[in-house]
Structure 1
Amino acid sequence: MTFDVFALRPHIIARMSDRWIDVAPRVWVRRLEELDQTLGLVIGDDCCLVIDTGINAEAGFAYATAIREKTDLPWQVAYTHDHFDHWFGTSAFGESAIWAVGDGAHYLRVGDEARKIRAASYRREGREEEARRIARTKLVPPNCRVSGAIGLNLGGRTVVLRQVGLAHSDTDMVIEVPDAGVLFAGDLLENGAPPSYDGAFPYEWPQAVEYLLSWKPSVVVPGHGDPADYWWARAQARDLAEVARMCGEVAQGFLTEEEALAHSPFGEAPMRAALDRCKALTPPPPPEPAVPAAQPQTPPPPVIVYDVFDYSVDLTQR
């Protein structure tokens, strides 16, 4: 259904610095000042797909208002993953299909925890209004689960929603627009900031990105920062692989942590986070085999000593 955001919140407007970037025919990127975030919009003949919705309800209303300047088609929503800044703005979009990896119960659980943590963080920074905004934001979990890959027909255009597997998170999903050569990568890739390894899977992450780039998209849209090209994405995939290699060498004792921190392609803080995450994911070593309890010793059998007599037999005697 089409949702009239103007009637609901006419006073909500986007920040003046927020802007649209036209990356392909009927494929748009919305660049936000807050968190340097990058959202997406893919327009078909019958409906449009909204890719991520922002950090709170107010940000979502501003985004929905901006979308209505581009199209009045009904929309569907896709979450690239479960981190709060990518889906807390969805209440602005009313009733719609919401696609994601992971079920609604998971999103509500992690979302409620993230909302409390973020509100407390804002208050510590003295940003009371931001704390109130996120605290009163209604969480809207996904209602359409993606497992594997799903082709979504927008009318005259099909986009592919693809489950990634373990990478930046365990709920990563990318959106491929094959007819436009565009890949929406979520936070698998970031432009202008290092990747976040909190809750990530450092060993699997670069492998996932390499696979997703195998169709060589012309435009790659990160979760934060400006869109870039295929070769930029390949360079970042190599850096992700270098972090994974160094984590493995530290675990095997070939490198010290200090050496890894000094030579990380992303800097010291992301490398430390990756090392800590690898330690957290490594199962503890198996326990040492138990030494069997000493059994009571039975006395050895007696040793019989035979006396040997030296004697001779006189065979002449009868």
Structure 2
Amino acid sequence: MSDRWIEVAPRVWARRLKELDQTLGLVIGDDCCLVIDTGISAEAGFEYATAIREKTDLPWQVAYTHDHFDHWFGTSAFGESAVWAVGDGAQYIGRGDEQRTAWAARYRREGREEDARRIARSKLVPPNCQVKGAIGLNLGGRTVVLRQVGPAHSDNDMVIEVPDAGVLFAGDLLENGAAPSYDGAFPYEWPQAAEYLLSWKPKVVVPGHGDPADYWWARAQARDLAEMARLCAEVAQGFLSEEEALAHNPFGEAQMRAALDRCKALTPPPPEPQAAVAEPGPSLPPPVIVYDVLDYDIDMRR
């Protein structure tokens, strides 16, 4: 598959990438456009920016759906612009440095030296506009909604709603063609977030990876996320064994194991045992008060 555009609604585009089967987004208004995620490296971001200029010459703003590297390492190619996200700049830089080191090492182990170099030399651009709750962003003749959702796939998920077109850019809250990743996720909260973001029944749902799909596809995946949460809860409560959950889940053994491990990591440890304290003995019955018997001299002659 080569990189290509898919028009999901008038002036609303999904950019399908071969690398990681990723899906980026573009929403065009009358005055500016919104770029949704920017790819895995500065080079990937440059290719994406060049492709956008084939669609529009309007100024752009950028939105990050979350802080995983493949969604924002390409932003340096877009120059100075507003960059919207739920997480703050320090969080993005700290986690970005960790991910850059880890993925460069992974690519080198796979013999992909040039990919490792691309990530290593990509300049990290943290967000400069923080989203809390939801905001409406006026692009000129069209308002998009940037909405904080979660915790779910991460602790800083954000979706982008295009109400006039009935389109939802869901980031990695939903994936098409691959199982969702539970590394760093919140398995119990994730299905609740998915149900919430689908409550307005968008016509088109654009996942973070895979082809755009409709509301009913997204609803089915939300049910699968709920089943994963139920299995995790039943294992934690002792109703199911881990082996049963690994064998009977909608996404596969690797995802189930990751979800179970994540639930264990998120469960607070039991309280420290307290020093033994002697319990008081059984209560004694109240003392018996014995009254003295008094001798009364009673004159019965009266």
Using structure 2 for the length normalisation, give the TM-score.
0.91
- 1:289 corresponds, among 264, 274, 282, to 274
Bigger mean CA deviation after superposition, 279-288 or 53-62: 279-288
Shift of 1:165: 2.2
Aligned to 1:269: 254
Q: Please list the CA deviations of residues 89-113 of structure 1 after superposition, one character each: whole Å capped at 9, or x if unmatched.
A: 0000000000000111110000011
Question: Which residue of 84, 94, 100 maps to 2:69?
Answer: 84
Paired position in structure 1 for 2:169: 184
| Among 42, 46, 66, the residue aligned to 1:61 | 46
CA distance in 1, matches of 2:277, 2:12: 69
Q: Distance in 1 between matches of 2:181 and 2:80?
A: 32
- Is the partner of 1:150 in helix, strand or coil? strand
Is 1:223 the counterpart of 2:208 in the alignment?
yes
The SS at the match of 2:264 is helix
Residue 139 (structure 1) aligns with = 124
| Residue of structure 2 equivalent to 1:214 | 199
The residue aligned with 1:4 is none
- Looking at structure 2, the residues matched to 269 and 67 of structure 1 have their Cα atoms a distance apart, in angstroms, of 37
RMSD: 1.1
In the aligned structure 2, how far is the partner of 1:267 from the partner of 1:123?
28
Deviation at 1:288, TM superposition (A): 2.6
**Separation in 2, partners of 1:287, 1:254:** 26
Counterpart of 1:123, as a letter, is R
Distance 2:47 2:243 in 1: 45
Task: Give unpaired runs (5+ residues) of structure 2.
Answer: 280-302
Deviation at 1:287, TM superposition (A): 2.3
2:14 is matched with 29
Shift of 1:60: 0.1
- Write the distance in 1 (CA, Å) between the matches of 2:274 and 2:99: 42
Q: CA deviation at 1:285?
A: 1.0
Distance 1:150 1:44 in 2: 16
Paired letter, 2:125 = V
Q: Does 1:160 align with 2:145?
A: yes
Match of 2:184 among 182, 188, 199: 199
Which residue pairs with 1:111 in the alignment? 96
Matches within 5 A, 1:90-109: 90-109=75-94
Distance 2:275 2:251 in 1: 44
| Amino acid across the alignment from 2:44 | A
CA shift, 1:289, in A, is 2.8
The CA deviation at 1:293 is 7.8
Q: Any residues of structure 2 matched to 1:39-54 within 5 Å, and which?
A: 39-54=24-39
Tell me, what secondary structure is at the counterpart of 1:271? helix
Question: Equivalents in 2 of 1:125, 1:20: separation in Å?
Answer: 29
Name the counterpart of 1:245: 230
Instruction: Report how many aligned residue pairs link the two structures.
Output: 279
Q: d(CA) in 1 for partners of 2:10 and 2:67?
A: 28
Whether 1:17 aligns to 2:2 is: yes
> In the aligned structure 1, how far is the partner of 2:122 from the partner of 2:226?
37
Q: Give the partner amino acid of 1:271.
A: M
Partner of 2:243: 258
Task: Report what 2:136 is aligned to.
Answer: 151
Distance in structure 2 (CA, Å) of the matches to 1:104 and 1:277: 25
Give the TM-score, by structure 1 length: 0.87
Deviation readout 1:80-130 (Å, 9 max, x if unpaired): 000000000000000000000011111000001100111111111111111
Specify the code of the residue in structure 1 equivalent to 2:32: C
Report the 3-state secondary structure (helix = DSSP H, G, I; strand = E; otherwise coil) of the residue aligned with 1:206: helix
Q: Does 1:129 align with 2:118?
A: no
Alpha-carbon distance in 1 for matches of 2:19, 2:231: 33
| 3-state secondary structure, aligned to 1:23 | strand
CA distance in 1, matches of 2:273, 2:80: 56
| Offset at residue 203 of structure 1 (A) | 0.2
SS of residue matched to 1:235: helix
| Higher alpha-carbon Rg | 1
**3-state DSSP class of the match of 1:160?**
strand
The one-letter amino acid paired with 1:257 is: E
